């Protein structure tokens, strides 16, 4: 039986990738100090399969074989402290089941969660949904409308804290304000301090200064979301999205500027604040008695006009970004826009309603499926022709 099992449970969009990369690169150094990061249940750098067994939406729900692999692995290790990490732990359907599995491993279980101000968290989730395989094709306002129920549940931090404290008790929880942490020691340094590392320990690690992922400028997200309304091979579109983000960051295009598509309106911010202000106040006073907790307060107003792109300036910056893409990607983007009747890519419109959003996404997917069918048919024809040639040659 180990002494302490530390579970880093997210939330998502709070520096989880940076922390997981740090843990993966410093496994030997951590083990030398009595902290072991297991291999069991890993997918890339997070313990995906351990949390997935406790979430009904995953393909491995109720499959506890990875937990048995974890116990077998730990039986061969002498380190007294164990570290598990995955933002998916924050969304497990049965926290009590997690507690029972965890207490079969260690005498004490300590859960660490980072919380981000709700408006910033939703904006970050929106940007991710635009650039990842979901290829969301609308504005932040439509995203808010489309995901209202899910976002409301995810952003109710008080209810989340109550659920965890009922199962693990508040003394075994560390609930941290992400905004303050990033501005102080960073998520990596903060996490290591929470598990008992001293300053001399910290200086000996590799990539301690590893930064959390820098979100793409609004003007890049805006462009990708517009392109998501046009058909393109998914794998190619993902690479184009990565290129657009790289170009915007490397050339400083749109840094610090806001596009209307990526900003809340004053009315939306008011709704978000009314929805969570009282909850946040109780959440902070009950569960988060730490420096910087006041940073969970949500501002009263949307960005001022001076911070927001004028449409023509946005379009010109997006034209510049496309021009800086590699020739293959640049020609593909311009070709897609021209076929759809747009001279400049920044003129591609957003869906006006939720119904329009879904219809445009479905139309895009239908065209892409037709392309894939044609591609497969061409490949199959080539294979048949090649086989016939081989038969003739033999």
pLDDT per position as a tens digit, 37-53: 999 999 999 999 999 99
What are the structure tokens assigned to 108, written together?
Answer: 């004490």
Across the beta sheet with 81-85, what order do the strands follow? Answer: 35-36, 81-85, 2-8, 106-115, 173-177
- Top-confidence range, 123-137, 239-253, 285-299: 239-253
Q: Which of 1-5, 33-37, 206-210, 316-320 has the lowest mean pLDDT?
A: 206-210
What span, in angstroms and rounded, lies between the C-alpha atoms of 231 and 124?
25
Average pLDDT, the chain: 90
pLDDT for position 210: 60
Long-range residue pairs from 91-100, CB within 8 A, at least 24 positions apart, any chain: 91/10, 91/51, 91/55, 92/51, 92/54, 92/55, 93/54, 93/55, 93/56, 94/54, 95/163, 95/164, 95/167, 95/168, 96/167, 97/54, 98/7, 98/54, 98/167, 99/167, 99/168
What is 2-116+156-203's CATH number, 2.60.120, 3.40.50, 3.40.1130, 1.10.700?
3.40.50
pLDDT for position 358: 86
pLDDT in tens, 145-172: 988 888 999 999 999 999 999 999 999 9
pLDDT for position 392: 41
Half-sphere exposure of residue 239, counting CA atoms within 13 Å on the CB side? Answer: 11
Show the DSSP H helices in the chain as ranges.
16-25, 27-32, 48-52, 65-74, 95-103, 118-131, 140-146, 148-154, 157-168, 178-183, 186-194, 199-202, 218-227, 234-250, 266-287, 311-323, 327-339, 354-393
pLDDT > 70: what percent of the chain?
91
Q: Which of 30-39, 70-79, 152-161, 357-366 has the lowest mean pLDDT?
A: 357-366
Confidence band for 391, pLDDT divided at 50, 70 and 90: very low
pLDDT for position 393: 42
Is residue 370 predicted with pLDDT exceeding 80? no
Task: Give the torsion sign (CA, 304, 307, 308, 310).
Answer: positive
> Checking phi first, is residue 41 left (phi over 0); if not, alpha (psi -120 to 50) or beta?
left
What span, in angstroms and rounded, lies between the C-alpha atoms of 14 and 212?
8
pLDDT for position 387: 55
Average pLDDT over residues 20-37: 96
Tokens 């940073």 found at: 295
pLDDT for position 388: 44
**Phi first, then psi: what are they for 351, rounded to 5°?**
-60, 145
């Amino acid at each position: 039986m180990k002494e302490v099992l530390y579970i880093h449970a997210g939330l998502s969009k709070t520096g989880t990738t940076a922390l997981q990369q740090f843990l993966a690169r410093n496994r030997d150094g951590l083990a030398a100090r009595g902290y072991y990061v297991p291999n069991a249940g890993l997918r890339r750098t997070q313990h995906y399969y351990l949390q997935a067994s406790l979430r009904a939406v995953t393909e491995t729900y109720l499959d506890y074989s990875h937990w048995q692999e974890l116990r077998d692995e730990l039986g061969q290790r002498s380190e007294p402290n164990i570290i598990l990490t995955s933002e998916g732990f924050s969304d497990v359907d049965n926290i009590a089941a997690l507690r029972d599995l965890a207490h079969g491993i260690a005498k004490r279980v300590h859960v660490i969660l980072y919380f981000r101000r709700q408006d910033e968290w939703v904006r970050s989730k929106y940007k991710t949904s635009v650039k990842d395989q979901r290829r969301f094709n609308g504005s932040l306002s439509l995203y808010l409308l489309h995901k209202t129920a899910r976002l409301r549940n995810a952003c109710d931090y008080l209810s989340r804290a109550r659920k965890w404290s009922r199962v693990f008790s508040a003394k075994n929880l560390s609930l941290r304000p992400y905004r303050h942490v990033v501005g102080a020691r960073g998520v990596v340094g903060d996490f290591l301090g929470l598990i008992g590392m001293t300053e001399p320990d910290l200086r000996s690690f590799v990539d301690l200064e590893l930064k959390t992922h820098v979100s793409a400028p609004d003007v890049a997200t805006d462009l990708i979301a517009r392109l998501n309304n046009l058909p393109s091979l998914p794998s190619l579109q993902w690479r184009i999205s990565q290129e657009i983000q790289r170009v915007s960051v490397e050339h400083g295009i749109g840094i610090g500027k806001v596009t209307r598509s990526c900003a809340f309106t004053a009315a939306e911010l008011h709704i978000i604040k009314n929805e969570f202000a009282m909850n946040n106040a109780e959440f902070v006073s009950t569960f988060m008695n730490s420096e910087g907790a006041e940073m969970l307060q949500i501002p009263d107003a949307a960005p001022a006009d001076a911070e927001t792109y004028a449409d023509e300036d946005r379009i010109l910056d997006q034209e510049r970004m496309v021009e800086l893409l590699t020739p293959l990607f640049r020609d593909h983007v311009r070709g897609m826009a021209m076929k759809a009747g747009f001279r400049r890519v920044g003129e591609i419109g957003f869906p006006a309603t939720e119904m329009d959003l879904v219809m445009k996404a479905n139309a895009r997917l239908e065209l892409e499926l037709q392309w894939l069918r044609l591609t497969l048919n061409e490949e199959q024809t080539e294979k048949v022709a090649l086989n016939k040639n081989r038969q003739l040659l033999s």
